[in-house]
Amino acid sequence: MNHQGRVSPGTAAPAEERSCSWLNIWVFLTFALAIKAALVTICLVVPFCHSSDQPTVLQQQFSEWECNSALPQGTDRGWMCCPKGWRRFQRSCYFLSTDKMSWAESEQNCTGMGSQLVVINSKAEQIKRNPKRENFHIGLFAEKVGQWQWVDKTPYNVTAAFWREGEPSNSLGENCTVMHVPGVSLNNWNDVRSDLLHHRICEAAAVTV
């Protein structure tokens, strides 16, 4: 009987079969790397690629982003993104600086990044944005003594403010506000001179994609 073309037991597979096996492995690895690259693109680049929106100043300033799926089910956008190194709370991104500047320099620095000095709108935000080191400029100032206003024109509500006891002193020249840290109380705002150097908290709307 003619056994030509059959491989007897114990005989190595033809070179063609071994080549196909290695080819399949390389195809699988290439596909896996492509999937990983796509996920990285989603996390870092996707804020710049949403076709219906013009990039914001914040988006133009940063190339690395951190995104997570935090929007309610049923919305057409499933990710909320902040620049890498910023912190997200609800629908805002926050930058807590390690260097110090005057109030005007702090506001200019935040604006240059497509943000603003933080505007505190609620007790939850005050608790969450209450830093644990030194003093931080926030976006509350007074053009005239005692006439406090937020940088984004949000109406100032004294009943929703978090001044330290005895503050604001409304002293001449103390027309800017810092979160005074350390402090054990939730009420830790203090009016200070604008030329004093402090850290800053910048705030911007999170990018939704």
> Domain residues of the chain, as ranges?
86-208
Task: Please indicate whether residue 6 or residue 115 has the higher confidence score (pLDDT).
Answer: 115
The region of weakest confidence among 28-32, 41-45, 176-180 is 41-45
Note the pLDDT tens digit of each residue in 139-155. Answer: 999 999 999 999 999 99
Task: Please indicate whether residue 33 or residue 170 has the higher confidence score (pLDDT).
Answer: 170
For residue 26, pLDDT over 90 is answered with no
For residue 127, pLDDT over 80 is answered with yes
Note the pLDDT tens digit of each residue in 56-102. Answer: 889 888 989 999 876 555 555 678 999 999 999 989 999 999 999 99
CA angle 103/129/132 to nearest 5° reads 85
For residue 200, pLDDT over 90 is answered with yes
Averaged over 11-37, what is the pLDDT?
A: 57
Q: Do 102 and 194 touch, CB atoms closer than 8 A? A: yes
What is the CATH code for 86-208?
A: 3.10.100.10
CA angle 59/200/162 to nearest 5° reads 115
Which residue type, as a one-letter code, is found at position 21? Answer: S
Averaged over 192-200, what is the pLDDT?
A: 96
Q: Do 153 and 196 touch, CB atoms closer than 8 A? A: no
| Contacts (Cβ under 8 Å, ≥6 apart) of 58 | 83, 93, 113, 114, 115, 204, 205, 207
